[in-house]
Amino acid sequence: MEGLVERIDVLSLWVDIKAIKSSILIFLALLSLSPVLRTLTAATSSDSIWALSAVLFLLNALLADYSARQNPDGQVQER
Task: Give the mean pLDDT per block of 10 residues along the chain (79 residues).
Answer: 63 84 95 87 82 95 82 70
CB 52 within 8 A of CB 43: no
Calpha distance 41→46 (Å, rounded)? 10
Q: Cα–Cα distances in Å, from 62 out to 31, 54, 55? A: 33, 12, 11
The answer to whether 77 and 68 have CB atoms below 8 angstroms apart is: yes
pTM over 0.95: no
What is the per-residue pLDDT for 71? 75
Q: Contact at 8 Å (CB) between 3 and 11?
A: no
The answer to whether the beta carbons of residues 61 and 50 sit under 8 Å apart is no
